[in-house]
Structure 1
Amino acid sequence: MIRPRILPGGWYPDTISEIKTNLDRWTKDVEEDTTCFAAIVPHAGWYYSGRIAAIPLKKTCGGKKIIVVIGGHLPPGSSILAASESEIETPLGIIVNRLDCIKRLQEDINIEEDIFSDNTVEVILPMIKYFSPGADAIWLRAPADEKAVELGKILYELTVELEVETAVIGSTDLTHYGANYGFEPQGRGVSGLNWMKNKNDAEVIDLLVNMSSKDAVDHALANKSACSIGAAAAAVEFASQNGVEKGLLTQYSTSYDVMPSDSFVGYAGIIY
């Protein structure tokens, strides 16, 4: 069974030529790095955060045989979710979803079927298909709690068993600030934007770069500094299990930089 595209065209391009043009433009000076095990990327529409996602994805995905894409939008206490379809549709062609790996993961942790429409995984997949066209995927979503950290450890154990080059991608945006999101602790306008950029987002980025997966989850829950922190925490833990001691921030930006507004969102790309 094929999992169809659900997001409308405004999220990412419909055609191969548009996808290629965008990704080539954003990453023309970026080289693959085969030493990368994981990345954290944003999942807004490509207009807002496509470049920020594309750079770490190109560096991380090249040469990998399996790419685990972990989305979120799941509160604490939710189950880990996985796509049940064996194939996933993208404008660049089908990506195989490794149901055998999902079944193996279910031996160690509870995973339920992802029957919902959600952007956190889908918006990333055309980039993965472009940068690593022969790779298979594992579609997962992780909640904002300790299960996400455990998932990262179990994914590492799976890759040791499989002996296959694997990358884990954690998909999250950062602070959602403003009236549109019901979150304005520092007021509206520039004061709120500066607080988001220089304190709230900066703090959670620092935790993620320094491999503090559990503390990052706690920060996001206490300060609303990430919408899908479980995905990021799983990627960090996977990298940590592989011996990575520190991540690298490739870029930080906000939706305000693209379209100024009283409501805005932070985006970061990190590689491990």
Structure 2
Amino acid sequence: MELRKAVFAGSWYPAEASACEAEIEGFLEGEAATGPLQGQWCAGIVPHAGWYYSGRIACRVIARLKGSRPPDLVVLFGMHLPPGATSSMMPMGAWETPFGPLPVAEALARDLMQRFAFQEETPRRYARDNTIELQLPFIKYLLDPGRILAIGVPPRAEALAIGQAVVDWAADQGQRLVVIGSTDLTHYGPDYGFTPRGTGSAALSWVRDKNDRRAVDAMLRLAPEAVIEEGLTHQNACCAGAAATAIAAAKRMGADRAELVAYATSHDLSPRDSFVGYAGIVLGRGNG
């Protein structure tokens, strides 16, 4: 089983297991582990900046997906892809994490490759992309799944079918599935070439209360097509396809509600004219 080496360990998050564990336990300190729908969350949407900025949010979302036993399968949607891109996947091997390897769900990958077009990656040949790797230590430490499949999906309605197919395959195989979508929100400021409200407090308020709120509201409505439209029209989700596909999968699993776990911006920790928004959301079934 060939191992895909971690490339962001030691910079975007700690490289050593003990340091990762200490940060994770710190992120979870004082946090109710599962929230009001214990055992009924099936999916989450997480941010993917360095752990200093958004790790607490991502960690708390993934912790709420923990059930009474480890899931058989975690499918993680991510990657910065334009609308016209082909979906991407590493169908063989394993991912390196500080807590040990996460083997790829090769049987699921083979099934999906028969039905959809993918740009294939290997443990030695791949695009450097933080959206996937930043979640892997959280997934290994908190969920410890039997297998994982990371899939890059573009912000296009056709990608939603991949999420639905994942759910159908897991149901046919009798496997307990957890789904995660990885996206940040508005990238605002001169560094990102996006300053429709200038700079200063008015720009920050607009991002927090207007632009990011539009994307978050679409996610909370469980409206995957609207999430894609928001990202493309208002630049308020850098990986809108990943979030939308996770929502489509969650709905296929029976999710009928979503809850905002936390929202923040990088400006909260590092005040600058250029900043990024982050949201953590869990999806599942309501009572009754």
Q: Which amino acid aligns with 1:35?
A: Q
Is 2:19 aligned against 1:4?
A: no
**Aligned runs of 1:74-153 on 2, under 5 Å?**
74-114=81-121, 115-153=126-164
Shift of 1:30: 2.9
Residue 18 of structure 1 corresponds to 19
Shift of 1:8: 4.8
Matched pairs, number: 272
Q: TM-score, normalised by structure 1?
A: 0.97
**Aligned runs of 1:186-205 on 2, under 5 Å?**
186-205=197-216
Q: TM-score, normalised by structure 2?
A: 0.91
How far does the alpha carbon of each residue in 1:99-122 deviate from its partner, in whole angstroms, 9 at most, with x for none?
A: 211111122221221321110000
Tell me the C-alpha RMSD between the 2 structures. Answer: 1.2
- Work out whether residues 58 and 131 of structure 1, in 8 Å CA contact, stay in contact via their aligned partners in 2: yes
For the residues of structure 1 that align with 2:167 and 2:72, how far apart are their CA atoms? 14
Gaps of 5+ in 1: none
Residue 50 of structure 1 is aligned with which of 55, 62, 85? 55
Q: Which moved more, 1:1-10 or 1:91-100?
A: 1-10
For the residues of structure 2 that align with 1:258 and 1:113, how far apart are their CA atoms? 37
Residue 262 of structure 2 corresponds to 251
For the residues of structure 1 that align with 2:66 and 2:203, how far apart are their CA atoms? 35
For the residues of structure 2 that align with 1:129 and 1:61, how far apart are their CA atoms? 11
Q: Which amino acid aligns with 2:162?
A: L
Residue 286 of structure 2 corresponds to none
For the residues of structure 1 that align with 2:91 and 2:77, how far apart are their CA atoms? 14
Is 2:200 aligned against 1:215?
A: no
Shift of 1:22: 1.1
Is 2:243 aligned against 1:232?
A: yes
**Aligned runs of 1:34-49 on 2, under 5 Å?**
34-49=39-54
Is 2:173 aligned against 1:171?
A: no
Residue 28 of structure 2 corresponds to 27
Residue 181 of structure 1 is aligned with which of 179, 192, 202? 192
Gaps of 5+ in 2: 284-288
